[in-house]
Amino acid sequence: MDDQGCPRCKTTKYRNPSLKLLVNVCGHSLCETCVEALFVKGSGICPECGTALRKNNFRVQLFEDPFIEKEIEVRRKILKDYNKKEEDFKTLEEYNDYIEMIETLIFNIVNNIDVDETRQMIEQYKRENKDQINKGRNKKSKDEEYLECLIEQEKEESSLKRKFIVEEEQREKDSKKKHKEALLDELMFSDRSALDILNEHKTDIDKENELRVPVMATTKFSTGIKLMGKYLRHIRSASDEEKGGGFESKLACMRALLDAVNGLFYLPDQV
1 contacts another protein (rule: CB under 8 A) = yes
137 contacts another protein (rule: CB under 8 A) = no
Single-letter amino acid, residue 191:
D
- What is the distance between the alpha carbons of residues 157 and 253, in angstroms, rounded to a whole number? 23
Instruction: Name the minimum Å distance from CB 228 to another protein.
Output: 23
Instruction: Name the minimum Å distance from CB 155 to another protein.
Output: 10
220 contacts another protein (rule: CB under 8 A) = no
Of residues 48 and 100, the one with the C-beta less far from another protein = 100
Q: Where are the alpha helices (DSSP H) in 53-114?
A: 66-81, 92-110
- What is the distance between the alpha carbons of residues 141 and 152, in angstroms, rounded to a whole number? 17
User: Which run of H or of E encompasses 31?
Assistant: strand 29-31
Instruction: Name the minimum Å distance from CB 180 to another protein.
Output: 18
Q: Which of 147, 184, 232, 258 binds another protein (CB under 8 A)?
A: 147
64 contacts another protein (rule: CB under 8 A) = yes
In our burial notation (b when 16+ CB lie closer than 10 A, e otherwise), range 98-113 reads: beeebeebbebbbeee
Instruction: Name the minimum Å distance from CB 261 to another protein.
Output: 27
Single-letter amino acid, residue 104:
T
Q: How far, CA to CA in Å, does 217 sit from each of 156, 160, 237?
A: 11, 9, 21
- What residues pair up with 23 in beta bridges, in sequence order? 29, 59
- What is the distance between the alpha carbons of residues 10 and 26, in angstroms, rounded to a whole number? 19
213 contacts another protein (rule: CB under 8 A) = yes
157 contacts another protein (rule: CB under 8 A) = yes
Instruction: Name the minimum Å distance from CB 101 to another protein.
Output: 8
In this structure, are residues 23 and 68 in contact, taking their beta carbons and an 8 Å threshold? no
User: Which run of H or of E encompasses 173?
Assistant: helix 142-189
Of residues 15 and 161, the one with the C-beta less far from another protein = 161
Which residues in the 80-119 window bind another protein by CB under 8 A? 92-93, 95-104, 107
Q: How far, CA to CA in Å, does 44 sit from each of 53, 56, 73, 167?
A: 5, 11, 20, 64
151 contacts another protein (rule: CB under 8 A) = yes
Give, to the nearest 10 degrees, the angle between helix 92-110 and helix 115-128.
140
Of residues 213 and 228, the one with the C-beta less far from another protein = 213
Which residues in the 165-204 window bind another protein by CB under 8 A? 202
Q: Which of 216, 228, 260, 271 binds another protein (CB under 8 A)?
A: 216
Number of residues that bind another protein (CB under 8 A): 39
Q: Which of 19, 38, 46, 68 binds another protein (CB under 8 A)?
A: 68
Q: Which residue ranges make up the site for another protein (CB under 8 A)?
A: 1, 62-65, 68, 71-72, 75-76, 79, 92-93, 95-104, 107, 141, 143-144, 147-148, 150-151, 154, 157, 161, 202, 213-216
